[in-house]
Structure formats: C-alpha cells, structure tokens
Structure 1
Amino acid sequence: MRIENRMYRSLNRLNKLPASWRGVVQTRLMGRFVPFLGTAGLHFDTIRRETVRVSLRNRRPVQNHIKGIHACAMALLAETATGFAVQMNTPDDKLILLKSMNIQYVKRSEGNMYAVAHVSDEMAALLQTEERGNFTVPCEVGDESGEPPVMVEMVWAWVLKKKD
C-alpha cells in the first residue's frame, strides 16, 4: 500500500492542468521543495511513486571544459531523481537524507542527459513501516549516445523527524 504524503498531494493537484502545462509547473513545484534545482535547470519529465525521470539540457551554464555536461551536474541529476523517487514514498513524519553517492565516470557524455530512478513496492513498504533505515535506489543515467556515461549508486536513509 502506497501512502499519500505532502509531495504526492501537491503533484496530484496538477492533474487538473492541461498536459502541455504540467511539465513546467511540475518542475517549478519541485524547485520549491529544493531551490537549487531551478538554478541548475533540471526538468522533471516523470514523477510517479515508482519512477522519477529528470533531464538536463547540455547548455553553457552546466558544461565542463570540453562542452559536455559537468561531472557535478551529472551527480546532481542522479541525486535528484533518486531523492524525489524516495520522497514520493516517504511518510510526512520522516526525513530522508542522502547517505552515500558513488559515481563512476565511464565515458564522455554526449548531448542532453537524463536520470531515471525506481522505488519498488518492497522499498516503499520499508519507508512506511520502519522508523529508520537505508537502501540503494536503482538509477539509470543516460545521454544521447544511448550508452550510460556514468554508473551510479545512491544510498538513501530515513529517520523520524524531530518533533518541535
């Protein structure tokens, strides 16, 4: 059974909008949860409980010295996709934190990039039933070449929020 948290309820309200507006409004809304995302220019293509897909255009502000997407921007892409996938399944009384990030750069990136993260029913159940824990969130990072430029391992943890 999947929960309905604050983020899910906010996104669900967007279903009333025309499909052509949804992506832009969705991206702006996510930028309110994490302000840095707007600065980086990330775009939320898909946000569902089981899958989040985030993309980044290869443009001057995010490029490295060889006109590819900068290594830190690639890391941000994977961190964002996995983090929002976890958050979509996290009860409002819990806080998620990135515990570790392992990135292996395997080839030069080409063009625009995307990251797709997945949260299984079993992972969602742990978030709902365990007070604290962690797991590795499966994430695929790709570019226009069709071959992954990086291999990532993102471990997310959760704890109960402190009561005020």
Structure 2
Amino acid sequence: MNKLASIVGRINGLPGFARSRALTLFFNRLVKYAGTSGTVVEKLTTEHCIVTLKNRKRVQNHIGSVHAVACALIAESATGFVVGMNVPDDKVPVIKSMNIDYVKRAKGDMRAEARLTAAQIQAMKTEDKGEAVINVVITDAEGKSPLIAKMVWAWTPKRR
C-alpha cells in the first residue's frame, strides 16, 4: 500500500455521508485546478474511481453545456486518482496521452468512471516503470456517453 492509498483508506472508513465530501476536500486541495472547477470525488478504491462535475456557469461553454476541457479534467482525474492509489511511493505516475472523441452534445451534469484491471494493478505495483491504457466512461445527466475517452498513464522511478 502507498501513502495515498493509506490516506484514502482512512477516509473510506468514515461514515457514508462524510466519505465523498472528505475525498473531495482532500483531492481538491491536492489538485488545485480540480478544486477550482468544482469536481467531486464520489468514490475511490484501488480499482475504481467516480468523479462528477455539476453543469455550472464557471465550467460551461458557449452553448450552456459542460466545456470540453472540463470533461477532459474529470476523465483525467478519475483515471489519475485510481492509478495513484496503486503506484508505489518510490514511483511517480504521469499522464502520457489523452484520447477523447466528442461524439454528441453533453446535457447537464457530468460523471467520469474509471476502472483498473487486476493485471494493470499488478503491473503498477511490481514493474519499475511502465504504462497502462485506462478506459474511462463519461456520461451526462441523461446517462448517455457524449465522449469516448482513454488515458495512457505511465509510472517511472522518482528522481533522487
């Protein structure tokens, strides 16, 4: 277990009503842009993460839906948080690439859900360096997927 997973484990031990708020406060202080945008961490475990974003004025585009970059933010956050839960403390996770296809107009609030496979988790914990393609499902208030995304995360040893 790494330091991040240990902290999140303690937060996940809180009563259900306090968990999301505590996770959100923790990550929005850690990742300033996520906090500025108003992301909410709904769930985080070593294999699964859900991040949401309300369709508010400060994250809207010119047509009143959540801006494309804000959608990319929640996709990157969900995948990055779950990767961070598994990469050992002597390694650093870095986003290597984002592939996002915008296939239809988003309506309302947005949700990003990322999952890791057992093989991905094992690789992160045992390989000195590597990379993983993390699929993320992004849905809008209607439950439709206006974006199709995958993120490539890498991990490398920390510099001394």
Q: TM-score range by the shorter chain?
A: over 0.9
**What is the TM-score normalised by the length of structure 2?**
0.96
1:138 match: secondary structure: strand
| Residues 1:18 and 1:112: Cα distance change in structure 2 (over 3 Å) | same
CA distance in 1, matches of 2:57, 2:12: 33
Name the CA distance, whole Å, in 2 between partners of 1:32 and 1:73: 17
1:57 aligns with 2:54: yes
Per the alignment, residue 72 of structure 2 pairs with 75
Residues 1:42 and 2:70 aligned together: no
User: Any residues of structure 2 matched to 1:1-164 within 5 Å, and which?
Assistant: 4-163=1-160
**Whole-angstrom distance in 2 between the partners of 1:42 and 1:24:** 11
CA apart distance, 1:110: 0.4
Q: Give the superposition deviation at 1:36.
A: 1.6
**Alpha-carbon deviation of 1:19?**
2.0
Task: Note the C-alpha offset of 1:153.
Answer: 1.6
Gap regions ≥5 residues in structure 2: none
Using the alignment, how far apart are the partners of 1:87 and 1:16 within structure 2?
Answer: 19
Residues paired across the two proteins, number: 160
User: Once the 2 structures are TM-superposed, how far is the Cα of residue 32 of structure 1 from its aligned partner?
Assistant: 2.8
Read off the aligned partner of 1:127 and give its amino acid letter: M
**Paired residue secondary structure (2:21):** helix
Which 10-residue stretch deviates more, 52-61 or 128-137?
A: 128-137
- Judged with a 3 Å threshold, the aligned counterparts in structure 2 of structure 1 residues 128 and 154 are, in CA distance, closer, same or farther, namely same
**Aligned-partner Cα distance in 1 for 2:5–2:130:** 21
Amino acid at match of 1:7: L
Distance 1:32 1:80 in 2: 13
Say which SS state the counterpart of residue 162 (structure 1) adopts.
Answer: coil
Question: After the TM superposition, which parts of structure 1 deviate over 3 Å for at least 4 consecutive aligned residues?
Answer: none
Distance 2:102 2:133 in 1: 19
TM value normalised by structure 1: 0.94
C-alpha displacement of 1:16:
4.4
Quick one: distance in 1 between partners of 2:13 and 2:104?
Answer: 41
Residues 28, 39 of structure 2: 8 Å contact kept: no
Is the deviation greater in 12-21 or in 123-132?
Answer: 12-21
Structure 1: segments with no counterpart, 5+ residues: none
Flag the 1:50–1:61 CA change in 2: closer, same or farther, 3 A. same
CA distance in 1, matches of 2:21, 2:3: 19
